[in-house]
Amino acid sequence: MPWLAIASAGIGSSLLLYHFQATYRNPILLDALPPSPSTPSNTASASIQITKDPNEDLVPTGTSTIPFFPRTIHLPPSPTIADAPPTTSTATRTLPYGTGPPSNTSEEYQLLGLGIRKVSFLRIQVYVVGLYVAKSDLPKLQEGMVRAFFTSTAQGDSTVSSATTLVDNEKAQLRNVLVESGKDGQGEKMWDEVLRGSGVRSVLRIVPTRNTDFGHMREGWVRSINARSSLIGKGAVLEKTGEGLEDSVAEFKGIFGGGRKGVGKGKVLMMSRGVAGDLGVWVEDEVSEQAEKQGKKGEMKYLGGLKDERISRLVWLGYLGGKNVASVEARKSVVEGVMDIVERPIGTIDTQVV
């Protein structure tokens, strides 16, 4: 019937228009859950506001496989090789605190930013990574980043290099530099200075979206280390390394060469960086299928660590600085978290961080 054909055509046109508006005006990633009214629409590349309501303790990641990361985690004061429980077997070392409740002897770490690691032209998701910083070290991060910025722009002006507050145009410049809009790897140099000199304790928390082989993850980090090491002598981030870097890289690779072959989907791998840059690596232990159905989590087992701070610094730079980073989303998110801190005058963050 003619009127029925016209009505059907009208409905079809309306549906097509709705699909166009939903797709092109408000795109939703195929690998992400759409935001709900009760869930903060904080995607993987959005700002992680340090001053958020503490009751909002979960941050959306942008993928339905690992939908949330905790806003805070609680760890020993310096969960690195120096603090691992004394034992003859690293297989029995466990991390006393994971993402559970705080204690009198734990340190609160706050999420600075997160993103999804993707590989190949198909953009296959591998894992979600978040950078956490010890809450009591946030003032150190603030001071170190502001100092690094003014040092890189001072050009011999000691007055500028001793400034402590960013004006609007400097804030915009810093943001651009940290997302590598600057020239000559300036953002990488700044992160290198902060990591070397600030004594900020931090943790990379990694949760695979699929079962992931240690070998693949390890080789990715080693490629990042080698790529940044090769910049020596070209005016980039590194001082002369001296002897022993190859030995340290081999030691780092050995951490992931034990009996365990990888990290299961949804399991946690943590790499911690201590005050002196010493590295500690921890992985969530497997639990039985029945225990997993009951929501139980495995302990965080210590895999190993090393004291050569160059290794952890180069691994961290693989996420933070340079043209090629492990996750562009994560870097953007971390930059916004950093800006939330450094935009305040130095010395005020202690009273403003929640």
| pLDDT averaged per 10 residues, the chain (length 354) | 46 40 33 33 44 67 95 76 42 44 75 94 92 94 91 60 74 90 79 91 96 92 86 45 76 86 92 94 86 82 91 94 91 95 74 42
Per-residue model confidence (pLDDT) at position 166 = 83
pLDDT (tens digit per residue) in 49-99? 444 444 558 999 999 999 999 999 988 765 554 444 433 334 334 454 344
- Cα–Cα dist 311/307, whole Å: 9
pLDDT at residue 103 in the model: 60
Give the whole-angstrom CA distance, residue 253 versus residue 247: 10
Decide: 69 and 62 in contact? Cβ < 8 Å: no
What predicted TM-score, i.e. pTM, was given to this entire model?
0.77
Residue 354 half-sphere exposure, CB side, CA atoms within 13 Å?
14
- Nearest Cα neighbor of 210 from 290, 128, 143 is 128
Q: What share of the chain is helix, strand, coil (3-state, %, to 5)?
A: 40, 20, 40
Burial class (CB in 10 A: 0-12, 13-18, 19+), 317: buried
Handedness of CA 34, 38, 44, 46 (dihedral sign): positive
Residue range 128-140, pLDDT digits in tens: 999 999 999 999 9
